[in-house]
Amino acid sequence: MEGGSLLSGLNSGVVLSLIAVLWTVVWQNLQHLQLQQFFGRHLSRHARRLAAMVDPYLSVTIAEYEGGRMKRSDAYEEVKAYLSAACSRGVRHLRAEGAKDADKLVLSMVDGEEVADEFEGATVWWWAYSKSPPRADAAAVWWGGGGGAQEERRFYRLFFLERHRELVLDTYLPRVRQQGRAVMVKNRQRKLFTNISTHQWSDGGYMRSAWSHVVFEHPKTFDTLAMDPAKKKEIKDDLDMFKNGKDYYARVGKAWKRGYLLYGPPGTGKSAMIAAMANYLDYDIYDIELTSVHSNTDLRKLFIETTSKSIIVIEDIDCSLDLTGARKKKKAAAEDDKDKKDGAAAAAAKAAAGGDKKDTSSKVTLSGLLNFIDGLWSACGGERIIVFTTNHVQKLDPALIRRGRMDKHIEMSYCGFEAFKFLAKTYLDVDAHALFGAVGELLREVEMTPADVAENLTPKSLEDNPDTCLAALVKALEEAKEKKASGGNDPDEQEDEEEEQ
């Protein structure tokens, strides 16, 4: 009896063990099949259907930035422009910005406002809102930056009935973008941008823009630029070919950009040439201060935030960073010796100061700048002109200014006779004068910049006239000739001699 009970108990234990093993195997397979996720998706699907019965509205959200805050969204700007007219009719609280017409304003909704729009019998609603930036973001690791103020993330959200889905997505939104672009062209103000120091960018991923700007209102045009007419026409023709060359650049497989190198002594009109180019093409200008750019990565961010139809300028590039070719051996040796001598002292000073400080020096390299000009990142956008200016073209690394990077080299030379006649007509309204011959002979012997010639031709008092101004120019040229004959060095030559010593 007792033996039977024991056997029965053993059989029950074996059965329970088998059941436990089988349950473990089945449960592991159930987990492998992810049944929890399956049931979750099933319930979520029914929940969405139930929500659709209660709330028949769909929405489309358009963010101010795309690509992880790397690039401002064109769609956002187009929607903002499209809504500028509708906002003035149905919104109580508006944000105003300057318009192309000095007496008008461009209006947009402030956060929290909503405006309705009608299209082919359907009513849609636009809502503007923003979100505070997160404390940290993966983009911060990519872009780095300093401790500047962060910007809020701005959005437009479009609400519409589900039965209007195809109408809104396929017809209405494309129409909004088209009309928005037209409004942007109508209200466009050309701007002059400059980059802020990269150490003022936020540590968070949602950093404020790397550029600040003012309205570009420079009066210089090719019509008022002192230059040989044939050379001026050559430059204008080249700009026309570029502006109308979208299909050509696509056909040959090149990014739609072109590089210009303007070189020559100070006062020969390099900055004036850039202003004339911008006015001729109707482009914005982005003026980059390289010493405010901390790294090659920051330089890429600057380029990505530029828009099409723009001229990207780096003036006096030979002075911005150490981008020269071969360095003088004695200079390099002296720097090495100085580094060795100062190394221990610097380490001691750092320890005494209580640890490391953030390095604010620029780490932009020649390689990074070359990639900025014609690397993969240079193709992010189109219709851009890159302009370098320098007083000493011979100091630049040949790789930086070769054809394909700086496609067109323009020498901004001293004033010639044709340029002088242009200046005389512009400043004095004279086409001929008895002193023209003397000025022409002196200009062949003396190098004088167009800026100096223009200054001598500028009337200084109400008593001045073409006779006195031209006489003043002749006198200045004769003095320069005498100085040259007496062995006086050109300021640029003196600078070169000082650097060699």
Report pLDDT for 24: 72
Sketch the domain layout of the chain as residue ranges. 54-189, 218-325+362-411, 417-500
Res 258: pLDDT: 93
Residues 6+ apart with CB under 8 A from 97: 105, 106, 107, 108
The pLDDT assigned to 321 comes to: 66
CA distance 132 to 434: 71
Contacts 24+ apart (CB under 8 A), 207-210: 207/69, 207/139, 207/140, 207/143, 207/145, 207/148, 207/150, 207/151, 208/148, 208/149, 208/150, 208/151, 209/72, 209/151, 209/305, 210/298, 210/301, 210/302, 210/305
Q: How many CB atoms lie within 10 A of CB 374?
A: 19
Token duo for residue 349: 């000073």
Cα separation values, 361 from 293, 357, 418, Å: 9, 12, 45
At residue 211, the pLDDT reads 85
Task: Identify the pLDDT of residue 42.
Answer: 60
* CB-based burial, 479-492: b 16+ in 10 Å, e otherwise: ebeeeeeeeeeeee
Please give the pLDDT value at position 468: 93
CA distance 184 to 110: 19
Per-residue pLDDT of the chain (501 residues; tens, 9 = 90+): 545 554 455 566 666 777 777 767 666 665 555 555 655 566 666 666 666 566 788 899 998 887 655 667 888 889 988 888 776 666 777 777 776 666 677 777 788 888 888 899 899 999 888 887 655 444 444 444 444 445 678 899 999 998 899 999 999 999 999 998 888 888 788 899 998 876 655 444 445 567 888 889 899 999 989 888 889 999 999 999 999 999 999 899 888 999 999 999 998 999 999 999 999 999 999 999 888 888 888 888 888 888 889 999 999 888 876 655 444 444 444 455 555 455 444 444 444 444 444 455 677 888 888 877 877 777 777 899 999 999 988 888 888 888 878 999 999 989 989 899 999 999 999 999 999 999 999 999 999 999 999 999 999 999 899 999 999 999 999 999 998 888 765 555 445 444 444
Contacts of 206 (CB under 8 A, 6+ apart): 65, 69, 133, 134, 137, 139, 150, 151, 152, 153
- What was the pLDDT predicted at 206? 43
**CATH class of the domain whose range is 218-325+362-411:** alpha beta
- Do 129 and 108 meet the contact criterion of CB atoms below 8 Å apart? no
pLDDT of amino acid 390: 92
pLDDT at residue 492, rounded to an integer? 52
